[in-house]
Structure 1
Amino acid sequence: MFVSMYSRFSAISICTVQSAALAFLMLASLAIPATVQAEEHERTFVNPVYAGQDPYLMVGPDGAYYQAASLRSDRALAVYRSESLTDRGIHRVVFEAPDEGPYRDQFWAPEIHYLDGKWWIYTCADDGDNAKHRVVVLVAETDDPLGKYKIAAELETPAWAIDATVSKFPNGKRYCIWSGWPEGTTPDSTQHLFISEMESPTKLVGPAVDISTKMYPWETSGRPDGLNEGAQVIHRNGKTLVLYAASGSWTPDYCFGLMTLEGDDPLDASGWVKQEKPWFSRTADVYGPGHGCLITSPDGSEDWLVFHSSIDPKGSWNRCISMKQVSWNDNGLPVAGKPTSWNTPVPVPAGEPPLQAGGKLTNAFDTLDRWELLHFYNGNTLRLRDNQLSVKASADRRYGDKLILRGLEYRDLTVETRIRFDREEGTAGTIVRVTDAGIGRYNFRGYSAQLSSTGELILAKCDGNKLTVLASKEVSVTKGRWYDLRVVAQGELLEVYLDGAKQPQLSAEDATYPSGQIGVRAIDANVTFDTFSVSTTAE
């Protein structure tokens, strides 16, 4: 279809699924029980869809989405695989930085590419000194894209360099575009986009050409001399375009710009023409949308922008990932309009895998692969070990942590789990019949059965913006003690049982949410969940 990533159709015809990757995917599929499709109804999603920054997605040889991400304070890299755009999918940590050497810190904005029959990750790193940042290329050690990677090379850029992307252009040659400090300028005073031809996935040849010489005022927020980074190449409608991020990423004015190659030579700087206005920019309630990519929907019929934005009105590097559908105008250029407000339901991308009717599960904490991770500090606040899930939801008190059982929908059911408060604060429990779940304290629709460390059992419903208590009761809660929580949903009747009680401690009737997904939720709490089982009335 377009961009510097395989289209859903060409990828399948050009490449074959690697045997190791296929074996992994077959094993991963065992995490979801075989079920029938749930009843059909219009599915929607809400932004933000997950936590993170600098998203770059590609469609792999097997037709699935792949993306790389920095974890563990930017000293580790993970690769994600998903059949869906709204679910980031399963992941594996594929690289951990060494303790010493020139590439031991600040691995930023990784991109995964499938080139010449191998998997590559383009990222950047330094030895702890930002001025030494350079583009580094990692190569997979096997055919498995979620297997281990090793550093293959440093790209020989003239100076400081980050945010590299690669693409094969219509002339048949492959090029790399990155963001760097122009020679002769004060370090960290400006960032320009540079392009160079590639001899191989690990080697640049020829000149490094500056294609960012002109800066508009909207490209200078936080950097008076201008800042361009995060380029992505688009080949569509006979045009070659570059989508890029502009202004300081720490500001609320971070945005997207768009430039067009007017001519046939990518190394002719005069041939690159920027649009005079931002292509995609902030609104009153979405701050600093920038650094992302265009990608097709699962069925290939739609185009979507995947991007990050700040959770802070004044801008920051606390960021989450959102999506917006893109159309094309009569001039053959992409049009995205304005960012969609968070918590606003939007139809899912065309071809998203449907939810399946959930069945019995006896231990859903056997693998993290079962779960969608809707928590803010990705990679730092969750740990699954020995069938116990530890959640540190006190890391940012503006945002709760939710985990949703992937791909399954339930109507009438019984959910059981055990909860232990590891600190005397916060609330934790289960959520049922959930729809439109995204990053955010109340960013979901459905029911919540919560136990509070202050001694309250609460049954509530959430409309995406606030909780409404349906029933509550004072209970005794002690730090370090396990509590058995059971929730029964049968038609309009909702019941909550604690510690094996024969009669429900809480009950209410409500018909707002008849079906949806299930999961666990923690607010302000450092808590551990032990076991998560579910049964349905049909069993």
Structure 2
Amino acid sequence: MRLRFLLASSLVPSWVTVVLWLLVCLCLATAANAEEHETTFVNPVYAAQDPYLMVGPDGAYYQAASLKSDRAIAVYRSESLTDRGIHRVVFTAPDKGPYRDQLWAPEIHYLDGKWWIYTCADDGDNANHRVIVLEAETDDPLGSYKIAAELKTPAWAIDATVSKFPNGKRYCVWSGWPEGTRPDSTQHLFISEMESPTKLTGPIVDISSKMYPWETVGRPDGLNEGAQLIHRNGKTILLYAASGSWTPDYCFGLMTLEGENPLDASAWVKQATPWFSRSKDVYGPGHGCLISSPDGSEDWLVFHSSIDPQGSWNRCINLKKVEWNDDGMPVAGQPTSWGVPVPVPAGEPALKPGPNLSEAFDTLDRWELLHFYNGQTLKLADKQLRINASADRRFGDKVLLRGFEYRNLDVHTRVRFDSEEGTAGIVFRVANAGIGRDNFQGYAAQITSSGQLVLAKCDGQKMSVLASTQVPFAPQRWYDLRVVAEGETLKVYLDGAESPQLTANDASYGSGQVGLRALEGKVTFAHFSIEH
């Protein structure tokens, strides 16, 4: 009111009025931007391992991943770092031959106007692992790929990455067994120049023969793998994973090229301590990549960590913002604990007001998948979504409508329990959702195998019941579940009832994503519609 009086007063010169209005507008814009950037996310963002992301010619993120017991590769496309995006299976291993099994750590690259995937494969015997190059058969990165070549390495080889150096030449770095060593006793990083995307040329050089104690956990002779090459601030930096990936001490190391010749082994100098390592509650952080935020103003480390304190190959993907020090080197600090909200990467697409949908099970592309056993516990077919949430009781499976938020809503689904136990239902007004049983904020309306219809809210750590009632439970029976949310009033209907079985008033969460949740059992959802 005081500002309005001053602006209207005839005692204030016109130029002062203009300046004051500009200051007001600037303050309002700054506040709006601050509020927008306060959007948060939580780790882990999805289930996977060995992430390598790249920005395609269209500005979207692309990554490749092994699926189907490591016998197939999918490519993902997303506008966001926190959502893995849509995917297509682009390659399935042949039934016979030297490349039929164990497709590990694929990386997608766009080289010389074409799409390529670098991965490794064997004949079922790990000792025969070799790097292979897949070539896109079309211009579509999510289209089909074929085997183009095997990179001719002298011995066992995995985790290949490629990069063009400041000298204008392209090089490949991979992890391999040094010749003359006992199989599977150690892994070193090797580099070679490339004649083309499918062929190495010239000498092959071991650049990681020196091993520090922190690189030897699980492998007394040392283990280096999962490299990424970064050219920035006049430096060539190699980020890599060290120690056994199955241990909680898996970590990141860093080395720099001190000189101009990448094939001079002595020019590669390792940092004497881990660059990024475990914390009190994040185990085995390793094998990942640095990537810019959607607007290009920030850098983020994308990496996997184990769900098990003792370490394991059960892994999820995490994000950590990276800064750069005065020496031009990246600094990541410590991993962020799971479930702790942090600001989203700058430029992340904001959620849009959600549309009415008469059927959301027409395509899996609509859904953001937050289920732990990636590609194994969730299937959409014939407009039915089947979830096996019994594989690990620590982790509930969630799917959320991608990119949309709803305030007032009327959502309906049908659910059938295909096992004797479990919990399943609708989640709504969801935010800060990650991998984990109760790793989300919002509401859930769900049926339990103990015969309860429950309306609850979750704060990211635990569920609090708002209302509940007894209902008959029977496996293989279809339940019609409906949720209506209008302002603070939340209502749950079962089996077409005209009056709600549950009603509660709660103002904790005003808007958010909508989806489904399943715990501890096998369930099928049929039909999903939403109005607002």
TM normalised by structure 1 equals 0.92
2:121 corresponds to 1:125:
yes
Q: Alpha carbons of 1:172 and 1:428: their partners in 2 closer, same or farther (altered >3 Å)?
A: same
Name 2:439's counterpart in structure 1. Answer: 443
The count of aligned residue pairs is 498
Q: Alpha carbons of 1:89 and 1:113: their partners in 2 closer, same or farther (altered >3 Å)?
A: same
Query: Residue 460 of structure 1: which of 456, 472, 488 is its match?
Result: 456
2:414 corresponds to 1:414:
no
One-letter code of the match for 2:340? Answer: T
CA distance in 2, matches of 1:41, 1:196: 43
2:92 corresponds to 1:96:
yes
Query: Residue 501 of structure 2: which of 498, 502, 505 is its match?
Result: 505
CA distance in 2, matches of 1:532, 1:90: 19
One-letter code of the match for 1:397? Answer: R
Name 2:10's counterpart in structure 1. Answer: none
Give 1:513-532 correspondences, 5 Å limit: 513-532=509-528
2:339 corresponds to 1:371:
no
CA distance in 2, matches of 1:127, 1:489: 55
Counterpart secondary structure, 2:485: strand
Structure 1, residues 151-171: CA drift from partner, whole Å, max 9, x if none? 100000010000000000000
- Deviation of 1:42 after TM superposition, in Å, equals 2.8
CA distance in 1, matches of 2:214, 2:298: 29
Name 1:163's counterpart in structure 2. Answer: 159
CA distance in 2, matches of 1:434, 1:273: 46
Counterpart secondary structure, 1:439: coil
Give 1:219-258 correspondences, 5 Å limit: 219-258=215-254
Name 1:203's counterpart in structure 2. Answer: 199
CA distance in 2, matches of 1:160, 1:98: 20
CA distance in 1, matches of 2:96, 2:111: 29
Query: Residue 177 of structure 1: which of 144, 153, 173 is its match?
Result: 173
One-letter code of the match for 2:434? Answer: G
2:203 corresponds to 1:214:
no
Segments of structure 1 that go 5 or more residues without pairing to the other structure are: 1-38
Name 2:275's counterpart in structure 1. Answer: 279
Counterpart secondary structure, 1:364: coil
Greater Rg over alpha carbons, structure: 2
- Deviation of 1:386 after TM superposition, in Å, equals 1.0
- Structure 1 runs, 4 residues or longer, greater than 6 Å off: none
Using CA pairs under 8 Å that are at least 6 residues apart, name the structure with larger relative contact order, 1 or 2.
1
Structure 1, residues 21-62: CA drift from partner, whole Å, max 9, x if none? xxxxxxxxxxxxxxxxxx968310000000000000000010
Percent identity, aligned pairs only?
79
CA distance in 2, matches of 1:101, 1:290: 31
Contact 2:350 2:403 in 1 (8 A): yes
Query: Residue 322 of structure 1: which of 315, 318, 325 is its match?
Result: 318
CA distance in 2, matches of 1:138, 1:504: 55
Name 2:264's counterpart in structure 1. Answer: 268
Name 1:429's counterpart in structure 2. Answer: 425
Structure 1, residues 246-295: CA drift from partner, whole Å, max 9, x if none? 00000000000000000000000000000000000000100000000000
Query: Residue 143 of structure 2: which of 125, 144, 147 is its match?
Result: 147
CA distance in 1, matches of 2:435, 2:147: 33
Counterpart secondary structure, 1:373: strand
Counterpart secondary structure, 1:270: helix
Give 1:296-445 correspondences, 5 Å limit: 296-445=292-441
2:41 corresponds to 1:49:
no
Structure 1, residues 458-482: CA drift from partner, whole Å, max 9, x if none? 1100011111111111100111111
CA distance in 2, matches of 1:296, 1:183: 37
Structure 1, residues 321-368: CA drift from partner, whole Å, max 9, x if none? 000000000000000000000000011100011110112111011100
TM normalised by structure 2 equals 0.93
Contact 2:358 2:529 in 1 (8 A): yes
Structure 1, residues 215-243: CA drift from partner, whole Å, max 9, x if none? 00000000000000000000000000000
2:111 corresponds to 1:115:
yes
- Structure 1 vs Structure 2 CA RMSD: 0.8
- Deviation of 1:396 after TM superposition, in Å, equals 1.2
